[in-house]
Structure 1
Amino acid sequence: MIVGVLKETAEHERRVALTPEVTDQLIKQGLNVWVEKDAGLASNFLDQHYKDSGAKVVSGRNEILTQTDILLTIQTPSNEELKKLKKGTILICFLWALQHPELVEELKELEISSLGMDAIPRISRAQNMDALSSMSSIAGYKSALIAANELDKYLPMMMTAAGTIPPSKALVLGAGVAGLQAIATCKRLGSVVEAFDIRPEVKEQVESLGAKFVEVELGEEDTQTEGGYAKELDKSKQDLQREAIHKHAKKSDIIITTALIPGRPAPLLITEQMVKDMAPGSVIVDIAAENGGNCELTEAGKTVIKHDVKIVGPVNLPSRLSHHASKLYSKNMYALLNLLIKEGKADFDFEDEILLKTTITHQGKTISPMLK
């Protein structure tokens, strides 16, 4: 089987789907790996590194598209590129099938077997395949560094001859993988950290990182999905949530927002009135910017100043640490391939929960139950 790796062409994308280290492991298992020329250059993996691992470096993109049996990418290829794939080609990448039903129909029509790296179930057996968690960890880390860089204050307490500077106060909204990493990084940088999440289950994790957990009484409502994600609240509970956030936002120098709901726009957590009530010079870093943002005033891909508060709306944060992001994604991909490939052939065993939920389309049919 030929495993093909494309150079990513999407704006802001600097990662590569397969690193030379993992390429070497796949080749030792009897697979052929073709890598498009300069595919890893933006992540500081050179063509020579791939050649040394045993891969074939291909100059023509079309050669990979038309001859590959398994295509590995980060972002979904364009419709024109998908049409060049052979029937039965296996495509593995971030598909976001819930948000793009038209893509699912296209993949079915083309009879492409597609697996979504964003659809890996959050179960213990799939942890080493969980690309969303890998990328979220990087995004959370980078968001704290961006906040520290944009803030015109020290983060840690500083004792100087001129007097003592108190530590900055950070508020992290959402205590999933990204939020926990943002908490840990802000704490390491010396700030006083508070964190909010609608799931009371995460309180212990937040406190174990040295942050204070902001609690809101939401009654007996179940606030967590089967996969461990936060659920969307009804309007009355949303109002309670925003009231609590407003109180803590007023005294925060930094707010990092990380709240996402799978398949839905990001929930609104920071209103314009909250921004108005923050101290001048405060910073909001909205990780959810690409999905509409958790702050009412966020502009995706831009840094804006509104009511004397700096609001950063970064897109594709993992690509800013493209070397390590590629390494983690590649290892996630390798773990999934090890489950899928048996004796040199793809084995779509839908008795396996991971393959069932991750496979979006196969043989012209929709497979993943999340789409049914």
Structure 2
Amino acid sequence: MLFSTGTFSSDAQHSFPGADNTNSEWTVSDLNVTRKFNEFRDDAIKNSHKYGNLDQSFHQLLAMSSIFFIQRRNFYNNIPEHIMDPQIQQNTRTALLDELNFRRALQPRDHGAIKAILTEYRDGIKDILDVRIGLLTMAKSKPEPERNVLLAIEGLIPTLKDLDLPCLSSENHLTAGYIHPVIQHLFAHNLSHFAQCANILPRFECADKRPDYFVQKFEHYQYASTFCFGEIKLDTANDMSCMNDFYRLALFAKTEMDTSHLNAVICFQTIGLSTTFYIMTRKPNMLVFVELVTIVLPSNKPSILSILGYLDDLHSLATLHMSLERTRQVPLKYPTLPFDYVQSNIKTLPRKRRMSHGAIASTSKH
């Protein structure tokens, strides 16, 4: 079976249903993005035998599931230029981020106050308890999402020591010490939100069917939906493993949007101390999966001030998650190209011909 949720066999791929052009269409600067994506998607399905290589065909593989992936670095020519050149992709990403009202800025006064507190910690003027109390006191006087940002930074403090520690040696250390404190406070400070490491839960019997991390929403004390998925790897992970994680993230988000009727889902991919965030949202006849920002966490106490360069990004993410909700109408569902199909068709290219997984998620490495 080639497609699931709509069940199309490989023999029937040419009869794969086209997008319903009678519905509304998404236009950006007079360009009909819906029609352009339909053209790309139909070509990918028609020539699916050419796109078994996840290393360089992740745009096509996602398009077969009606997912339009837009990354920040878009000059890799993954999408044929006659369909959508890099500048059009960039304009589309910019327009979508504007629609989401994503770019937010922390108040300069708050930025200065955080810098002063962290500088005193770095320089040994105040001890760890006083620094944490200072951040918590400041957070107590702020509403969400500013409070979330302050709590995320405070959550990192116990991990950031001035010690000659070895490099991160395990995903568990990376998750527990760095990722969980930040994500939990950014997205799960609300009493109805719950963040946890998913790869330790026994109900996920198959590793391919669970993410490393997720954030769930509860209503009336009962599980309602999962609005954030994450995959976490050390920076020593190989390219193919990171590619697989990225593809799975897209499928997790798509499945959750179909199941819970969400207007959007946030995803993140962590490689080492660098985390790239994405959002999947709905547009006419497609799902759009767009890269948001990359945040590199400090590794120790001496480097703690590096987090100041990401305060606006953290604020933007905390604000964005507050806009996620169920849609009022039952949305269209699109057939999905299963992860098993991609796994069975992996053909890794020689390194000199392979696009770095930095093209997807580790802008951290650049």
State the TM-score bracket (shorter-chain normalisation). Answer: under 0.3
Of structures 1 and 2, the one scoring higher in RCO (CA 8 A, sep 6+) is: 2
Q: Structure 2 length normalisation: TM-score? A: 0.25
Structure number with greater Rg is 1
Structure 1 or 2: larger helix share?
2
